[in-house]
Structure 1
Amino acid sequence: MKKVFFLFIFFMAFQTTEAQWLFSKEKIKNKENFDKQRWSWGYFLGFNSYDFKFDYEEGASDVIVEKNIGFNVGLLGNLRINDYIDLRLEPGVVFANRNLTFPDIPEDNFREVKSTYVHIPLLVKFSTKRLNNFKPFVVAGISTSINLSSNEKNPDDNNAGEFRMINNTNYFEVGFGVDLYLPYFKFTPSIRGIFAMSDELKKDDDPNSAYTGNINSMQSRGVFINFTFQ
């Protein structure tokens, strides 16, 4: 118990110090001219959690979706418009994993859906005024992706154990984050939601398939947590 208490005290002291470091009026600004550059570059690492949104025929049972944690990695190109608006391109690779269970099928009712996306978002970043070494922002935009694991052209369908998806998908995205100006670089944690704008399901060849016959559409939605370094 004593160890837990001392760890808690240490954590609170650390948090207080960090808050003072961010908000103190006497703090010297790090990377003071960084945001005055017309162009800036960086890279990001992060995590994701993907889900599916299904639209069913009347009376159909819901497909059970089990979400898993995936991984993101990519590059950043940022174009400064003015002190408060930036245009950014974030091409990257996304590794996602979802498990599907079809409750109305007694046997062979489980599908593991592993997806590898080449994901290309074009985002507009709206920032507040910088406060010492701290600047919150929101982002919104559109993106497109190529699913390298879609199986769209695979002649086998669920009757042969293969779950198929459409290769190309477009999304809209919205999120928020904060720029932290450190002595040697800018560090940006952010969280973003993505929402597919089209049906991604490649239906089985049999229109009455127990797997896809009762599904009108299937759309991805997900959450990204990214850590960007510039």
Structure 2
Amino acid sequence: MSFGKKLLALFALLLSFAASAQRVAMSMPDHDDKKYYFGITFGLNYSVYQINYTEAFAATDTFKSIQPKWQPGFNLGLLANLKLTNFVDLRFVPSLAFAEKRLDYKYGIPKDSALSKGIEAIYMHLPLQLKFKSDRINNFRFYALIGGKFDYDLAANARSRRTDEFLKVSPVDYGYEVGVGFEFFNDTFIFSPEIKISQGMRNQLFQDHSLPLTNAIQTLLTRMIVISIHLEG
């Protein structure tokens, strides 16, 4: 096939794609004119503690190791979106996050033993985010987000008087979040899968020196990866 015929074939293919694109019916064509809208959200989370150890941990033989492990959980919540500009929204996503962080640790003294303990959490999760949107391409859009969060752990055991606690954590946390997502426009709603990283910045360790682990750990920070589905109106 000559170069001219190849060029004509390529041009015909491009025309075909253009015609197909024009035939795509725009769902919710007036949605971007809304000043605000609402939705619901649900998803999975994976959380872990980030640990900084004390000097006593390295200087003594009480513990051989203390290792945090990722654990799954789930989120349920609401969504409120306020349009700031054509490409920037302000978003508030209050939700409940059911999570667990696990610590695997080994004693060296008085005898070698390995234990694995989970710390359950029910976070009242209150993030405020800026959402940066791309141009809409037919019924599709990409976005990125950045923001801050405030978390309150309804299941925190900081004030617990139980004698079998191995570690105590504070209920209040705050930090930042970054993520990306996609919007798929349907006739009556927007389907938005999203993934974000939520990083806590406040030390979650409650100081109770009657617990051996408290003497080995200096700071506990929470990190969470959240994979969400938003249904927006």
Question: TM-score higher than 0.5 here?
Answer: yes
Question: What one-letter code is carried by the residue in structure 2 that aligns with 1:221?
Answer: R
Q: Secondary structure of the residue that 2:32 maps to in structure 1?
A: helix
CA shift at 1:67, angstroms? 1.9
**Long gaps (5+) in structure 2:** 1-16
Question: What one-letter code is carried by the residue in structure 1 that aligns with 2:80?
Answer: G
The CA deviation string for residues 103-159 of structure 1, in whole angstroms up to 9 with x for no partner, is 236458432211111100000000111111111000000000110111111134xx6
Residue 220 in 1 paired to residue 217 in 2? Answer: no
Residue 128 of structure 1 corresponds to 134
Residue 88 of structure 1 corresponds to 91
CA shift at 1:34, angstroms? 1.0
CA distance in 2, matches of 1:192, 1:127: 15
Residue 138 in 1 paired to residue 144 in 2? Answer: yes
CA distance in 1, matches of 2:71, 2:116: 15
Which residue of 17, 42, 45 maps to 1:45? Answer: 42
Residue 147 of structure 1 corresponds to 153
The CA deviation string for residues 24-72 of structure 1, in whole angstroms up to 9 with x for no partner, is 3431210111121111000001000001100112427542222221110
CA distance in 1, matches of 2:38, 2:166: 40
CA distance in 1, matches of 2:106, 2:185: 50
Alignment of 1:125-204 (within 5 A): 125-156=131-162, 160-204=164-208
Residue 57 in 1 paired to residue 69 in 2? Answer: no
Q: Which has the higher strand share?
A: 2
Q: Secondary structure of the residue that 1:213 maps to in structure 2?
A: helix
Contact persistence 1:51–1:222 (CA under 8 A): yes
Residue 101 of structure 2 corresponds to 98
Contact persistence 1:44–1:227 (CA under 8 A): yes
CA distance in 2, matches of 1:25, 1:216: 60
CA distance in 2, matches of 1:72, 1:163: 24
Q: Secondary structure of the residue that 1:45 maps to in structure 2?
A: strand
Residue 11 of structure 1 corresponds to none
CA distance in 2, matches of 1:166, 1:176: 30
Question: What one-letter code is carried by the residue in structure 2 that aligns with 1:165?
Answer: V
Contact persistence 1:64–1:103 (CA under 8 A): no
Alignment of 1:67-78 (within 5 A): 67-78=70-81
Q: Secondary structure of the residue that 1:82 maps to in structure 2?
A: coil
TM-score (norm 2): 0.82
The CA deviation string for residues 85-116 of structure 1, in whole angstroms up to 9 with x for no partner, is 00000000000112212223645843221111
Q: 1:25 to 1:54 in 2, by over 3 A?
A: farther
CA shift at 1:83, angstroms? 0.9
Number of matched pairs: 205
Contact persistence 2:28–2:185 (CA under 8 A): yes
Q: Which runs of 4+ in 1 moved over 4 A?
A: 105-108
